[in-house]
Every structure is written in C-alpha cells, then in structure tokens.
Amino acid sequence: MFESLSQRLSKVFDKLTGRGALSEADVVEALREVRVALLEADVALSVVKDFVARVKDRAVGQDVIRSVTPGQMVVKIVHDELINILGTEGVELNLNAVPPAIILMVGLQGSGKTTTSGKLAVRLKAQKKKVLLASLDVYRPAAQQQLEILARQADVGSLPIIMGEMPVAITKRALEMGRKEGYDVVVLDTAGRLHIDQELMAEVAQVRDVAKPVETLLVVDAMTGQDAVTLAHEFNEKVGVTGIVLTRVDGDARGGAALSMRAVTGRPIKFLGQGEKLDALEVFHPDRLAGRILGMGDVVSLVEKA
C-alpha cells in the first residue's frame, strides 16, 4: 500500500545521493518533497510537520556534512524516524487476564470491526483458545446475524441473539457465558459509532467499565484521510485504546493513517487486515512497513555502504 510513497521518496533521494556533499538547502528541498509525499499518503498534517522537523534537526547536523554520501544518511534518518513513530517491534495480543480475556472492538461505521472479530476468532482458535463472539450491535440492520455467521464459519462460540436486549445487558450475558462455559477469550463486537456521538461514546465507555477488557482494539480503515488523528485521539481519550487494527491494507491506499494514529495515540498497530476472508489477518511489523515505505533493500544496502 505504500509503494507510491516509496517511489516518491526514492526519487527525491536519488537526486541527493548523486551528489558529493549535502548543504542545508539540499536537505530543505528534499524534505519539502518528503512533506508532499507524506501528505499525499494521507499522513495527518500535524504529524508530517513534526516528522519533517525532526528529520531536519538530525539531517543538518555534523554527521551528515562529514559523511561521504550525505544523501544516504538522510535516507537512513528518514527511515529511522519512521520506525520511531511506527514502533520497533510487532506486539501480540495481550491475553493476560483471569479467563475469559475480553477483547473490545471499537471504531467508526464500516471500518471492519465485525469482520476483524471473525478473523481474530480464527487466529485465536488456531492457538488453541476457546473463543466466544458476541455482537453488541443492536443498531445496524442484521449486524448480529453477520457476526453469528462469521462465528459459524470460524467454528467458534457465538452468544445467542436475544432481540431487543441492549449492549450493556448483552455484555453481562457474554461475560457470564464466557465464565460458565470455560471460554479463554470473549470478543465483543460493537456497533460503529462516530467519536463525536456523545451518547454512543458513553454507551461504549459503559460497556468497557462492565467488561474490563484486556484489549480495546480500534479498527480503522487504511484509506482514512486527515481525520485519522481526530478519531484516534477521541477514541483513545473516551474509551482507552490498547491497540490499533488497520483494515483494507490489501487496497492501494498509501496508508499514511497508520503513521498518524500511531503518533497521536502512542498505541501499537497490532494487526493488518489483508482481505475480506477470515484468514486475511497479519501481524504488524513496524520495520517491515517502514522498509516498505522507503524500499527496504535500498535502505539497507545504502546505509551499509555509508
């Protein structure tokens, strides 16, 4: 998804690497193009500004001026700073709780919560966990049926649907069934909601207080634009996010939202959704993603030479 950004940056740096010495003006020019490339990749403006400033601070230092191939050093600095934002390691799900461990899925409408719930069930089942899926989405037409079907496909437990029951009551019933029937993990799929919808944000906060989840995963579309910072900040503030799932990474969006959300929440990106099917979930590797942004092979070989 980051190919275009990577192409863009490598074009910029090709120009730089062709030179023997690197002036401050060169850095500034390169960073202007980095800025545009990041913005076109939908990284939020505030994040771009911080990023560019940090890279500039480091790039216009002594190291760069003394190095034989200064352009390569800039590449390395940009790469390092990307890793810095994205985090250094893949972070697995935290299931450290007296069973059942509760995972709460939250996010905007249509971001991929229900599908990701099904995908997590498949993944956890493969790790020999006994998983229960419960839908708290009493608003979207046929939402509860959707999750029930996915539970059947994943061959995991599904909380029986009681029409007319409200989210907090459903939560309590899910916890009880989870305990009584010896489930290891209960995944609570919630209705999509806007972060400015006070009533629904209060509802999900109430669910959280009842469920005491070990993981609250914010599910976000990789195609998200500048709003990523606002929504991530608000969900984190109002519900308390422990991790981020980026969906539709199988698309051709450049996915700058990943950088934005990581930067504003400080929460790790845990998984990438790579398709509609239940096996299309990948663990997130920050260095792999940063490498993809810049073209990893090039970065490694360039920096080795430097």
User: Which tokens hold the place of 69?
Assistant: 């191939």
- Does residue 67 interact with other proteins by CB under 8 A? no
> Residue 176 or 197: which CB sits closer to ligand GTP?
197
Contact criterion met (CB below 8 Å) for 193 and 84:
no
- Does residue 142 interact with ligand GTP by CB under 6 A? no
DSSP letter (8 states) at residue 301: H
- Does residue 201 interact with ligand GTP by CB under 6 A? no
CA 131 – CA 298 distance, rounded (Å):
43
Which of 70, 87, 112, 243 touches ligand GTP (CB under 6 A)? 112
Phi, psi dihedrals of residue 42, rounded to the nearest 5°:
70, 20
25 CB burial (10 A radius; 0-12, 13-18, 19+): exposed
Residue 214, CA distances (Å) to 36, 191, 207, 243, 277 in order: 38, 19, 13, 10, 26
Positions in 219-238 near ligand GTP (CB under 6 A) = 219
CA 89 – CA 77 distance, rounded (Å):
18
- Does residue 69 interact with Mg ion by CB under 5 A? no
Residues present in the chain in total: 306
Name the binder of 225 from other proteins, Mg ion, ligand GTP, none, CB < 5-8 A by kind: other proteins
Which of 6, 69, 114, 236 touches Mg ion (CB under 5 A)? 114
Positions in 220-239 near other proteins (CB under 8 A) = 221, 223-227, 230-231
Which stretch, 9-17, 53-61, 135-143, 176-184, contacts other proteins (CB under 8 A)?
135-143
Which of 8, 119, 254, 267 touches other proteins (CB under 8 A)? 254
Name the binder of 3 from ligand GTP, Mg ion, other proteins, none, CB < 5-8 A by kind: none
Q: Which of 189, 190, 196, 286 is nearest to 246 (CA)?
A: 286
Phi, psi dihedrals of residue 269, rounded to the nearest 5°:
-85, 120
Contacts to other proteins by CB under 8 A: 36, 39-42, 44-45, 108-112, 118, 139-143, 145-146, 149-150, 153, 194-196, 221, 223-227, 230-231, 248, 250-254, 256-257, 276
Contacts to ligand GTP by CB under 6 A: 107, 109-115, 137, 140, 143, 191-192, 194, 219, 247-248, 250, 273-276, 280
